[in-house]
A and B are shown apart, each in its own frame.
Chain A
């Protein structure tokens, strides 16, 4: 039992309300939380669980449109719910710091990184500018940023995402706070970059014995970082336990279901053989460029009817660009694309309506891919009308049929608008829109990466069912290897615009691998709490920094 004097943060019966539809609605229903000095607590749950809201509340902060409506938050003997705003402000940045999800959006584009870093220490008169800058460089050094003496003098847009996230962790450390709130700090990063950020965060938290609340929806990540894990659902606590115990013996059904999400796996299909087996899409040696920058270099692969080809790689590896070439949005500078054995015109403007109809797309952000001012029936009905010439009653029947296919009740959803739908429902509408054209081939561009794991699994199952029903071919762009494991038949690994390895899934997941495939595979966090430590030892700590900076 830890003595009471070591308690840094104690939250009791915390209630938070959010303002919507002109009334206050409770979104956090009485959360208790105790954090000791130097301890790391993992908060885990799906979106809407209230993780970020609770994290911010432990700084005495509520976002606009939210308010702390009950309970107590005691930080080092100070009751934050009754502390005046000016005194709260003096705590923030100096004793409690925050690391946001997207460093790229959370650094001010108008100022140099180091000036943002030194802002708090100078304001709190902890250090003079020169001292603060030297200290920043020291922290950059410890966080293994490249060129630590120089990187701070760049503007945020001149630095990569993973480096910015480490710079933001350094910024949080500037005043050597007692507590840091990490709000999904690696969610927006590639797996290979995620590792260095995780390692850096863990090191620095250890070195300064800082307490931390680590918010994430990724179980494997939290397993590496936290001493204790608290599972949240819809603003309520499900259970809390030390990390090892939580992973081995979760008590609650909900926790068990979270743990089991990655179990969905469909049988792998083999390429059809024989003379009449023609790939539905055959990409043959294409190059592409944005302006003068070459982004694709001699990319070739085939996709056969009814099969799923996963295209994996880090951001910037050319996955989405390949999709743009196939759809004709970006004409390749070299090479050709065959559709059922016939060459497709490079530009979509030159393709026939039937060629356009057969290849459809589903996007990552269903939020932005659906026009919020257009009803669901029109979103789905447009392509049905455009490609199949349906009108009136026939069109309505078709839309109803499509809604049934994506498991949304036509009676309920026919006339609704996208903002009234949840993330998973929106993505289903995105799928129905692609299906409405009656395609043979669908490009799925990171369709599940913006969704919670349980919801994502539902989408994957739906896509699988539709594939069997209509013999669809999928090109599945993703950076999530767990998704690849569950649904792919074949895998194409891309790096810097080139295909480095391709083949059937079972071969890809069995050694020997191409070194880059190996790096990708080994970078996927595993549930084992010692995974990160073991991996870092295996790789040798020093080449971690270089692994993703190349």
Chain B
């Protein structure tokens, strides 16, 4: 077990370094944007004095390196500065939005992950049959359609024509959990449709890839029924690639939801980011990007650890 702990700690350390590099990229990418932040915030009509005063207030007159370390120091303690537009603390503005996004992503994941893996197992078992082809075509169609298109189609059929679900997923504080699930069902479903194909096809491929192994032939020659060969003999050896693609898709659910949030007017972090970019509210942009990066790194780390834990050679050393 000590080896695994060491491995996890090593990966965690690498993750922190990656995050540091990303933070540098984010900070200086924003820095590279053309124009002056103070100028942009104050608009065309501002006098030189007011611009200079704002620059001083924001600390923009200091060298970039110094500001980076100030920003990084703040970020480490959860202080991302103050919104340039509203004057609100960035951490406060982001927290609620991020929780909403996490909720929507988890909602979609809870539906999508089991469905894709079970479907993947079934199509591997029924490979090259009509069911396999239909499932492939259906999931490929849904992954190939843009999210906003899928979202509007769902709204048209499930909200406008039938009114089973609300078209707008606005939230209020006094909703029950059931209401919440009902109201956010359509955006969650859109996300499910987008990520299922990838995970299902990977599960199928990972399993089929193993079917030529000698130990699968051995199982067949022992008289093990086909479904059991897939579930008991192939699947346990296929977890590593499956876990990786699941992690990639979970990361996408959090960082790639901007369009879905806009279509369903859902108060998530993606919409906040889009607004902040439009208004040149850089502290928020930087904070959102850093959170996205951290999510990505964390999920990939989890996938690595998961892949290690499902490998019997590492779990049971000689």
Contact = CB atoms under 8 A, between A and B. Distances in A.
A106 B223 contact: no
B57 interface: no
Contact of A110 (B218, B221, B225, B237): B237
A107 B215 contact: yes
B218 A98 contact: yes
Given A89-B225, A92-B222, A120-B222, A157 B312 contact: yes
Contacts of B88: none
Q: Which of B221, B236, B312, B316 has the most CB atoms of chain A within a 10 A radius of its CB?
A: B221
Given A108-B233, A110-B236, A155-B312, A63 B223 contact: no
Q: Which of A61, A108, A119, A171 has the most CB atoms of chain B within a 10 A radius of its CB?
A: A108
24 contacts: A59-B221, A61-B221, A90-B223, A92-B220, A92-B223, A93-B221, A97-B222, A98-B218, A100-B217, A106-B214, A108-B218, A108-B219, A108-B236, A108-B237, A109-B215, A109-B237, A110-B236, A111-B232, A119-B224, A120-B222, A120-B224, A123-B224, A155-B313, A158-B318
A474 to B, nearest CB: 34
A547 to B, nearest CB: 22
A154 B318 CA distance: 9
A85 to B, nearest CB: 9
Interface in B262-318: 312-313, 316, 318
Interface in B208-246: 212-215, 217-225, 232-233, 236-237
Contacts of B232: 111
B208 to A, nearest CB: 11
Contacts of B218: 98, 100, 106-108
Interface of A: 56, 59, 61, 63-64, 89-94, 97-98, 100, 102, 105-111, 119-120, 123-124, 154-155, 157-158, 171
Given A105-B213, A107-B218, 19 more contacts: A63-B217, A90-B223, A93-B221, A93-B224, A97-B221, A98-B218, A98-B222, A100-B217, A100-B218, A109-B215, A109-B237, A110-B236, A110-B312, A111-B236, A120-B223, A120-B224, A157-B312, A157-B316, A171-B222
A473 B220 CA distance: 49
A204 B141 CA distance: 58
Contact of B222 (A109, A119, A155): A119
A284 to B, nearest CB: 33
A61 B215 CA distance: 15
A105 B217 CA distance: 10
A466 B44 CA distance: 86
B214 A105 contact: yes
Contacts, number: 74
Contacts of B225: 89
A182 B282 CA distance: 71
A105 B223 contact: no
A91 B223 contact: yes
A171 B218 CA distance: 11
Contacts of A92: 220-223
A98 to B, nearest CB: 4
A61 B220 contact: yes
Contacts of B221: 56, 59, 61, 92-93, 97-98
A273 to B, nearest CB: 48
Contacts of A91: 223
Q: Which of B217, B222, B232 has the most CB atoms of chain A within a 10 A radius of its CB?
A: B222
A155 B318 CA distance: 9
Nearest to B221: A98
Given A89-B225, A123-B224, A157-B318, A109 B312 contact: yes
A549 to B, nearest CB: 15
Contacts of A109: 215, 237, 312-313
Q: Which of B218, B236, B313, B316 has the most CB atoms of chain A within a 10 A radius of its CB?
A: B218
Nearest to B237: A110
A50 B264 CA distance: 64
Given A91-B223, A98-B221, A106 B312 contact: no
A119 B219 CA distance: 9
Nearest to A85: B226
Contact of B215 (A98, A105, A155): A105
Contacts of B213: 105
Interface in B184-228: 212-215, 217-225
Contacts of B237: 108-110
B217 A106 contact: yes
Contacts of B220: 61, 92
Contacts of A120: 222-224
A170 B318 CA distance: 22
A367 B217 CA distance: 23
Contacts of B318: 157-158
A328 to B, nearest CB: 29
A434 B225 CA distance: 49
A84 to B, nearest CB: 14
A368 B110 CA distance: 44
A538 to B, nearest CB: 34
Nearest to B316: A155
A430 B225 CA distance: 44
A135 B222 CA distance: 17
B215 A94 contact: no
Interface in B15-55: none
Nearest to A101: B214
Contacts of B313: 109, 155, 157
Nearest to A115: B232
Contact of B316 (A61, A94, A123, A158): A158
Contacts of A108: 215, 218-219, 233, 236-237
Contacts of B223: 89-94, 120, 123-124
A93 B312 contact: no
A233 B232 CA distance: 39
A91 B221 CA distance: 9
Contacts of A107: 215, 218
Nearest to B219: A108
Nearest to B235: A110
B231 to A, nearest CB: 12
Nearest to A88: B223
A59 B223 CA distance: 10
B206 to A, nearest CB: 13
A292 B182 CA distance: 59
Given A93-B223, A123-B223, A100 B316 contact: no
A120 B233 CA distance: 13
A157 B236 CA distance: 16
Nearest to A110: B236
Nearest to B218: A106
A180 to B, nearest CB: 11
Contacts of A97: 221-222
A63 B211 CA distance: 12
Contacts of B212: 64
